[in-house]
Amino acid sequence: MSEQNRPWTAFYGPNARADIPAPLHRTIGDLINAMTHLHGAKTAFTCCLPNGMNGRLTYAQVDEMSDAFAIYLREVAGLSAGDRVALQVPNGLPFPVVAFGVMKAGCVLVNVNPLYTAEEMAKQFADATPNALVIVDIFAEKLVEAMQGHPIPNIIVTQVAEFFPAAPRGIVRLVQKYWDRSLSPIEVPHIRLPDALASGRSRRDADQVVVEEYRAHMTGDDLACLQYTGGTTGVSKAAMLSHANLLTNMEQTLELLEGLESGSEVVLTALPMYHIFAFTVNLLGFYSLGANNVLIPNPRPLSNLKRAFENYKITVLSGVNTLFNGLNNEIWFLDSPPKHLKFAAAGGMALQSAVAERWEEITGKPVLEGYGLTETAPCLSFNPMGKTRVNSIGVPVPSTYMKCVDEAGDEVPQGSAGELAAKGPQIMKGYWQNPEETANVLRDGWFLTGDIGTMDADGYFRIVDRKKDMVLVSGFNVYPNEIEDCMTRHPGVSEAAVIGVPDGASGEALKAYVVALDDTLDQATLRAYCKEHLTNYKVPKVIEFRDDLPKSNVGKILRKDLRAEELSKG
């Protein structure tokens, strides 16, 4: 793809820029300050619990509290610019306060999955070597084991209902302590987050600290966060994302989302903000729009979202295929779909056409599918509003180039499948302390995604599948996404996952794992359905019915876990 040839820009909206020469703000701290001047008294974040209890913070409160936390880190905890601060909390009011405070301090945020085991935490801590950790109390019992061999000098503990009004906060604590019994004694030295903020405020007032001085000499190229990829073995890699990576990608994505109004949107954030999609699009993007961001600490079961839909006029929802598929089958959602919704945005995994069509039937609004990776901050492409195409990840966002290449790195003919390569200002600086892996994916300014895709004449891209998930059946390349999309169109199928398994006759054979909507569906019926829609070598040889499928914490079906299970059988 020539860097002058971008046919996809013809499908941008009339006001969309083809190029974004530089982000509006130099650093994320500058963005936070600017939004306070525009939206100070307006609600920035609302944390909604399954029973409807909630807490809120205004833009002015988030700005002041993140200032206090930045001062605590630098003046009390003694951190320096560039030091890492790990954040291990679910969606809730502490998340933006801490994340923004870390970046205002000139430090580097390290997002950590709250559900990680102590062993997984230990691996990430050993790699990132954080100087401070903010962790939610219900998971703090893992700290003693997780910090063996690599202690973290500053531990700050928070709670799910932090910054809620006193009455609901007290009720949540009582339930956790005496009903759920989810609170254990914290056996490491620590400070509570409100006390850390108070300490920062005290130092600010006593020493007349000016937070802006921490980032006075920073540029957009300074590191903002270490964002860990979902590694399949060992320690996952940390993408080094700069302030400019994140701020530019935020603007690139919003450029294609027409119809959004500053100060008027209400976005439902069910995806965890430690995941790069929700971090850039929901946390940063909708903050820059002056939206009310309704945070869901735990979207499982999906009934946990019911009160949020009932109590707030949700205009935008982001999610993954499994979230939309699940809501499509929730009686309460079918009975009362959101009335104010403008669109939903999908990413993180392939959006199945049957799910997207059903969603639009129910809500009357489209799901706009996008595509990206942790290493690209994350958005590379998006379906422009009003110009969506079925089974497409859309067109590259402004200032972005994409092409499909063969094993030698040469561009393949239009319409042919090849590995997606991308170039743009959102591409990471590299992998943290891992030059070998960096060299494997960054070549001559292009990032190799590991995904197989095609491009049509208009510049719309389609993902065929992950390069590593391709199955070779009797010499034919078979991509599981295609098979899964076919199977989920059967009215009796809720979810499907397809992998390759060893086969003496064909080298590899297809095995499908299916969650059925009832017990009447059998293997013969489903195979016959597949034969109607797929050529014979694409029909799964074996179909196994299950009650559920393994998923990541953002709801992505984990084929790698199914493969590992098969391999363990010998």
Task: Go through 137-146 and write b for each residue having 16 or more CB atoms within 10 A of its CB, e for each that does not.
Answer: bbbbbbbeeb
Q: How far apart are CA 217 and CA 376, in angstroms?
A: 25
Q: How far apart are CA 432 and CA 209, in angstroms?
A: 32
- The strands making up 367-372's β-sheet, listed across from edge to edge, are 54-58, 43-48, 292-295, 266-269, 316-319, 343-346, 367-372, 379-382, 395-396
> Each residue of 202-228: pLDDT tens digit?
999 999 999 999 999 999 999 999 999
> Each residue of 475-512: pLDDT tens digit?
677 888 889 989 999 999 999 999 999 887 767 899 99
pLDDT exceeds 60 at position 233: no
Q: Which pLDDT does position 175 carry in this prediction?
A: 79
> Each residue of 365-422: pLDDT tens digit?
999 999 999 999 999 999 998 898 988 999 999 999 999 999 999 999 999 999 999 9
Q: Do the Cβ atoms of 296 and 48 come closer than 8 Å?
A: yes
> Each residue of 7-35: pLDDT tens digit?
999 999 999 999 999 999 999 999 999 99
Task: Outline where 14-164 has alpha helix (H).
Answer: 28-39, 59-71, 94-104, 118-128, 143-146
Q: How far apart are CA 50 and CA 70, in angstroms?
A: 31
Q: Which pLDDT does position 178 carry in this prediction?
A: 64
pLDDT exceeds 50 at position 148: yes
Q: How far apart are CA 131 and CA 134, in angstroms?
A: 11
Please give the structure tokens belonging to residue 444. 């001559």
* DSSP label at residue 218: -
Q: Do the Cβ atoms of 304 and 310 come closer than 8 Å?
A: no
| The CATH fold of domain 27-32+58-218 | Rossmann fold (3.40.50)
Q: Which helix (H) or strand (E) holds 209?
A: none
> Each residue of 39-60: pLDDT tens digit?
999 999 999 999 999 999 999 9
Three-state SS at 59: helix
CA-wise closest residue to 170 among 53, 16, 286, 282: 53
Residue ranges of the domains in the chain?
Answer: 27-32+58-218, 470-568
Q: Do the Cβ atoms of 224 and 215 come closer than 8 Å?
A: no
How large is the average pLDDT for residues 460-466? 89
Q: Do the Cβ atoms of 334 and 540 come closer than 8 Å?
A: no
- Give this prediction's pTM: 0.88
Hey, what's the torsion of the CAs at 345, 350, 356, 358, to 10 degrees? -130
Q: Which helix (H) or strand (E) holds 442?
A: strand 442-443
Q: Which helix (H) or strand (E) holds 559?
A: helix 559-568
Q: Which pLDDT does position 570 carry in this prediction?
A: 66
Q: Which helix (H) or strand (E) holds 360?
A: helix 353-363
Q: Do the Cβ atoms of 147 and 132 come closer than 8 Å?
A: no
User: 4: which residues sit within 8 A by CB, 6+ positions away?
Assistant: none
Q: What are phi and psi of 481, to 5 degrees?
A: -55, -40
Pick the CATH number of 470-568 from 3.30.300.30, 3.30.300.180, 3.30.43.10, 3.30.420.40: 3.30.300.30
Q: Which pLDDT does position 120 carry in this prediction?
A: 85
Please give the structure tokens belonging to residue 423. 């170039």
- For a pLDDT cut of 90, what percent of the chain falls above it? 79
